[in-house]
Amino acid sequence: MVNVARLQVFHGQGTPFSAEELPLDFALAEGEVLVAIDCATICGSDLHTIRGVRAEPTPAVLGHEAVGRVVRTGAGRQLAPSTRVTWSIADSCGVCKPCAEYDLPQKCERLFKYGHATLADRTGLNGCYASHVVLRRGTHIVEIPDELDDAIVAPVNCALATMVHAVLACPADRRVVVVQGGGLLGIYACALLRDRGASHVYCVERDKQRFSWIRRFGGTPIDGSPGSDPVRQIKHEHPRGVDAVFEVAGAKELFAQGIELLRAGGLYVLVGLVHPDSALGATAETLIRKCLTVRGVHNYAPQHLDEAVAFLQRTAPDLPYGELVSPPLPLERIQEAIDLTASQRWLRVAIRPNGLAG
Ligand SMILES: [Zn+2]
Ligand SMILES: [Zn+2]
């Protein structure tokens, strides 16, 4: 019987992770669930934290994209031990205005997010670069079907659920769409938009190595590297402009491109620019004269996570999700895993905290 949790603790940019242990014999509060983590993937937002692009309180266990198994539950949760689960990255109270009236539980006034809290907060088991995590009472938990591999499930509770939310922000009759960025969000966007009936999904991406993935997930790759002219290429086929644009690359320079690509009455969904270096260079006049809608989408609500898991289950037999994720490294090699993200060989690097020797 395992009686300690193993953690990799982040102490701030430039400081090495430290291996630490915490006891597992604590009492769970009502609604809490202790989960053993089978696989976690390194999200781009964690890389921002690790590289100091954005500040998070420390010391902390980072990591929020994960899948695991139930170890035990507090009162009020009906989940058998060993049930495979993923969970919402946000824990929400359910009663504040954003939760109860605005339909934005991810903006809860008492919000807690996994991978963003310090070791001093409650049990300290708040992140996924660890053998265990404690899920809180207001966290939405979704059971995972046996046939889905850990590596393809881990990114569902951040990247895929966020993209489900973003795509649902766009009316289904928007048939010609541009996705700016061919990382994991962009690849998911191609698959989701085609599944929803889009006739053309152009994916503007600088890295040609990603083009075959873009094609296989239903998108048409468009060269976005310096010196190329994606606007001319797309407008050649759609002179009036496109119905919707999704920004998932996190590059503010793309905003002007998106505005230029949109038809009159078009919709611009902003997803990727969740960092301070995101001042947009466009006049209000441009937006007004083209009658554009600009919509920000951040994180997601429980129903989007349900839909993401269902979508993955439905499409996994046909789409090569497994190729997007690296073979897993043991938890203790977290720094090596982080370094590996820079190779861009995969869209996610995976860590296996349990069940892998090393
Ligand atoms: Zn994330
Ligand atoms: Zn709330």
Render pLDDT for 65-87 as a digit per residue (tens, 0 to 9).
999 999 999 999 999 999 999 99
Ligand whose nearest atom lies closest to the CA of 184: 1
Distance 206 CA to ligand 1 centre (A): 22
User: What pLDDT score was predicted for residue 250?
Assistant: 93
Distance 30 CA to ligand 2 centre (A): 17
Distance 96 CA to ligand 2 centre (A): 4
Percent of the chain with pLDDT over 90: 94
Distance 158 CA to ligand 2 centre (A): 19
Ligand whose nearest atom lies closest to the CA of 92: 2
Q: What does the alpha-carbon distance between residue 321 and residue 264 come to, in Å, rounded to a whole number? A: 35
User: What pLDDT score was predicted for residue 53?
Assistant: 83
* 170-296 matches 4-155+300-352 in CATH topology: no
Tokens of 252: 């503010």
Residue 231 pLDDT exceeds 90:
yes
Distance 249 CA to ligand 1 centre (A): 14
User: What pLDDT score was predicted for residue 2?
Assistant: 74
Confidence of residue 55 (pLDDT cuts 50, 70, 90): confident
Distance 272 CA to ligand 1 centre (A): 11
User: What pLDDT score was predicted for residue 357?
Assistant: 44
Distance 46 CA to ligand 1 centre (A): 7
Confidence of residue 358 (pLDDT cuts 50, 70, 90): very low
**pTM higher than 0.85, yes or no?**
yes
Q: Which residue has the tokens 């109270």?
A: 93
Ligand whose nearest atom lies closest to the CA of 157: 1
**Domains in the chain: boundaries:** 4-155+300-352, 170-296
Distance 92 CA to ligand 2 centre (A): 5
Distance 20 CA to ligand 1 centre (A): 23
Q: Are 23 and 128 in contact (CB under 8 A)?
A: no
Ligand whose nearest atom lies closest to the CA of 274: 1
Distance 275 CA to ligand 1 centre (A): 13
Confidence of residue 277 (pLDDT cuts 50, 70, 90): confident
Distance 341 CA to ligand 1 centre (A): 14
Distance 225 CA to ligand 1 centre (A): 25
Q: What does the alpha-carbon distance between residue 252 and residue 157 come to, in Å, rounded to a whole number? A: 25
Ligand whose nearest atom lies closest to the CA of 94: 2
Distance 241 CA to ligand 1 centre (A): 31
Ligand whose nearest atom lies closest to the CA of 116: 1
Q: What does the alpha-carbon distance between residue 157 and residue 113 come to, in Å, rounded to a whole number? A: 12
Ligand whose nearest atom lies closest to the CA of 103: 2
Which CATH architecture group holds 4-155+300-352? Alpha-Beta Complex (3.90)
Q: What does the alpha-carbon distance between residue 267 and residue 162 come to, in Å, rounded to a whole number? A: 17
Distance 4 CA to ligand 1 centre (A): 26
Residue 117 pLDDT exceeds 90:
yes
Render pLDDT for 233-265 as a digit per residue (tens, 0 to 9).
999 999 999 999 999 999 999 999 999 999 999
Render pLDDT for 189-228 as a digit per residue (tens, 0 to 9).
999 999 999 999 999 999 999 999 999 999 999 999 999 9
Ligand whose nearest atom lies closest to the CA of 44: 1
State the SS3 of the chain: CCCEEEEEEECCCCCCCEEEEEECCCCCCCCCEEEEEEEEECCHHHHHHHCCCCCCCCCECCCCEEEEEEEEECCCCCCCCCCEEEECCEECCCCCHHHHCCCCHHHCCCCEECCCCECCCCCCCCCCCECEEEECCCCCEEECCCCCCHHHHHHHHCHHHHHHHHHHCCCCCCCEEEEECCCHHHHHHHHHHHHCCCCEEEEEECCHHHHHHHHHCCCEEEECCCCCCHHHHHHHHCCCCEEEEEECCCCCCHHHHHHHHEEEEEEEEECCCCCCCCCCCCCHHHHHHCCCEEEECCCCCHHHHHHHHHHHHHHCCCCCHHHHECCCEEHHHHHHHHHHHCCCCCCECEEECCCCCC
Environment class of residue 114 by beta-carbon count within 10 Å: exposed (0-12), middle (13-18) or buried (19+)? Answer: buried
Mean pLDDT throughout 275-279? Answer: 88
Count other C-beta atoms under 10 Å from residue 241's C-beta: 20
Distance 235 CA to ligand 1 centre (A): 33
- 170-296 CATH fold: Rossmann fold (3.40.50)
